[in-house]
A and B are shown apart, each in its own frame.
Chain A
Amino acid sequence: MYLRNRLWAITFGALAFGQRYVAETLKISFYSDAPLEKISAENAKGCYSHVDFGTDSVYVRVKIRSFSFPNKLMEEHFNENYMESEKYPYAYFWGKLVAPFPYQAPGTYAVSARGLLEIHGVRREALISGVYEVLPEGRLRLTGKFFVRPADYKIEIPRLLWQKIAEEVQVQFEGVYKPT
């Protein structure tokens, strides 16, 4: 594994130089607002992402176990009963930037990426939009939100709990990317 990583770093490191940005910090949180219960969780430790401006591609990998809930029993249920994180430990997004991305000019811009979002082992088409800001030292700050319907990703919610888990869950992301 290590060798493979090295080989790729050597082969493509030079090619991608100055065009690949890796998330230095990335926090993904979600919020479910149902009539009986509001549930929220945050993941600041288990997110990996990079953007490659050479190929206009975006990659995000989110570790499901790293979502932290104020109620740990809820966290256990989230992993065990809903996301089945032992079977599907990560959520992924592979995408292409919809429009060219002026990543070197200072300013704040809207951005979207179209591609595939995989949650709970189910892969679906998705368009994710956000705002990015070019920071000093060439860093980029990216923020945005989108909605996910658990039912679309075969996340079963028992009838008894319909009042407790929203049909649409709001997902927010906030990250700072730096050039490699």
Chain B
Amino acid sequence: MDRPRLPRAVKLLRLALLSPLSLLWAQPPEEPPEPVLATFKGTRLYNFHTTEIPAPKHLEFRVAHRFGDLRQGYANFFGIDAGADVRLSFGYSVLPGLELGIERTGIGKWWDGYAKIRLLRQTAPKGIPVSVTWLSQAFLTEQKDPLRYTTFVNRLEYLHQLLIARKFSRRFSALIGLLWLHQNMALTAQAPNDWFWVMPMARFKVTARLTLIAEGALPLQEMEEALPTYQIPWSAGVEIETGGHVFQLGLTNAAGLSENQTLLTTFPILRVGFNISRIFSFQGGPEYVPKE
């Protein structure tokens, strides 16, 4: 221990202060429960949304990259030679607990807009046990596929999510989501227009700045009949925080990049990728300046 040696007077003082008597001597009022902070570091874990919503008047700018198939090995430099698929996202919290966002995904030329609403916020030390967020998303593709997309309405898909999360400890948070995807144009003649999933998600914080993350989406209906090559989408990775940025490095089996494509992964691929998120504050307010 490299503790400084304290003078005798201070030692005595410390002894006096640490005695039960002085503990009673200090009697500030008890504090009410407060909302927990940072159940997850980001508004997305890797491919999917968490319960987090930026603070009011804060803008999140997010770029997601996914490289090519890792399994081709060195020949393709583990997928990196294939170049990256990119998704850009902007999300702005207009009110406390209400975020509006717009996104563009390269794969499939999808535009989407979403509204994310906080319904409940977990409090500590007691009170509300979970955080609950609702998310509704509308997707529109620009793909010109005359066979599949005969009308404008055909090109629309909707995804609704109910997300329930709990921060169990400083390190461990888990989430369970219920997802409902509606496709105006079904994938195949046998495929339904509505799909449902239950989505588990977890994070484990290793150090203040390094977190392990994993997520998956388990279908609630028979998939093989409509999509014989269906794969349960999953991803796992690490989250690294450097001041204003959050980096998420991960591995996923999803070929698509927007949620509606990721959920309906139908061919085997393994790809590395990363997300970068940056948050800007438009809150303003009086900046505290020290007095001389």
- A: residues with CB less than 8 A from B are 1, 4-5, 8-9, 12, 29, 31, 40-42, 48, 59, 61, 63, 65, 70-73, 75-77, 79-82, 84-87, 94, 96, 115-116, 123-125, 145, 156, 158, 160-161, 164, 170, 172
Judge whether B290 and A61 touch: CB under 8 Å.
no
- Which of these, A42, A76, A87, A164, contacts B170 with CB under 8 Å? A87
Judge whether B288 and A156 touch: CB under 8 Å.
no
Judge whether A80 and B288 touch: CB under 8 Å.
no
**Given A73-B244, A81-B241; A40-B288 close (CB under 8 Å):** yes
A127 to chain B, nearest CB (A): 11
- CB-nearest residue of chain B to A73: B279
B211 to chain A, nearest CB (A): 11
- Which of these, A75, A82, A94, contacts B22 with CB under 8 Å? A94
Interface positions of B from 18 to 40, Cβ below 8 Å from A: 22, 24-31, 34, 37-38
- Which of these, B10, B34, B283, B289, contacts A125 with CB under 8 Å? B10
- Which of these, A4, A72, A80, contacts B55 with CB under 8 Å? A72
A52 to chain B, nearest CB (A): 8
Judge whether B284 and A70 touch: CB under 8 Å.
yes
- B: residues with CB less than 8 A from A are 4, 6, 10, 13-14, 17, 22, 24-31, 34, 37-38, 54-55, 58, 124, 170, 208-209, 241-244, 279, 281, 283-285, 287-291
Judge whether B37 and A61 touch: CB under 8 Å.
no
**Given A73-B281, A116-B14, A158-B209; A8-B288 close (CB under 8 Å):** no
Q: For the complex, what is the distance from the CA of A14 to the CA of B230, rounded to whole Å?
A: 77
Judge whether A81 and B30 touch: CB under 8 Å.
no
A27 to chain B, nearest CB (A): 10
- 24 A-B pairs (CB sep. < 8 Å): A4-B24, A8-B27, A29-B288, A61-B26, A65-B34, A70-B284, A71-B281, A72-B58, A73-B54, A73-B55, A73-B58, A75-B55, A79-B37, A84-B170, A84-B208, A86-B170, A115-B13, A124-B4, A125-B10, A145-B290, A158-B209, A158-B242, A160-B243, A164-B243
Q: For the complex, what is the distance from the CA of A5 to the CA of B24, rounded to whole Å?
A: 8
Q: Using Cβ atoms and an 8 Å threshold, which residues of chain B touch A12?
A: 25
B257 to chain A, nearest CB (A): 25
Q: For the complex, what is the distance from the CA of A59 to the CA of B281, rounded to whole Å?
A: 35
